[in-house]
Amino acid sequence: MPSKKKLTRSKIVKKLDTVFSQYIRLKNSVDEIATCFTCGKQDHWKKLQNGHFQSRKHYTTRWDEINCQVQCAGCNVFKYGEQYKFAVNLDAKYGEGTAERLHIKAQQIIKLSDFELEDMIKRYKNFVDSM
């Protein structure tokens, strides 16, 4: 039996991004309807996006469940994530200072191994499959 071809790091990250996005949108939906965190628009979870308060370039917050919230394409793409509203809503939902803590966390450096990323893929895939 031939061995399974090892995925490149970029493909592992992309796979994790996909399953994590599904998890965030499903976790925040009721009867498959989710609400945009910044403007309140409601739609099927598949039509909405996983918005990041701190940019995806920061691995410390890229897959952080508080940093990531459901957003419509209008807010996430065309309005550049509505960062001010995002911060206000984070503080309202999770407590004063949450946005600032995420900003500080994003400045830290983390190095995740391929094994750790693949473990996260398995964990979030299990969550998605059970929802």
- Range with lowest mean pLDDT among 4-8, 16-20, 103-107, 121-125: 4-8
Please report which confidence band the pLDDT of residue 1 belongs to, taking 50, 70 and 90 as the band edges: low
Residue 13 phi, psi dihedral angles, 5° rounding:
-60, -45
pLDDT of residue 29: 97
pLDDT of residue 2: 58
Please report which confidence band the pLDDT of residue 6 belongs to, taking 50, 70 and 90 as the band edges: confident
Task: Retrieve residue 124's tokens.
Answer: 């979030």
Which residues fall within 8 angstroms of residue 124, CB to CB, at 6 or more apart? 16, 19, 20, 22, 23
- The mean of the pLDDT values for the chain is 95
pTM of the model: 0.92
Domain ranges, ordered by start, for the chain: 20-120
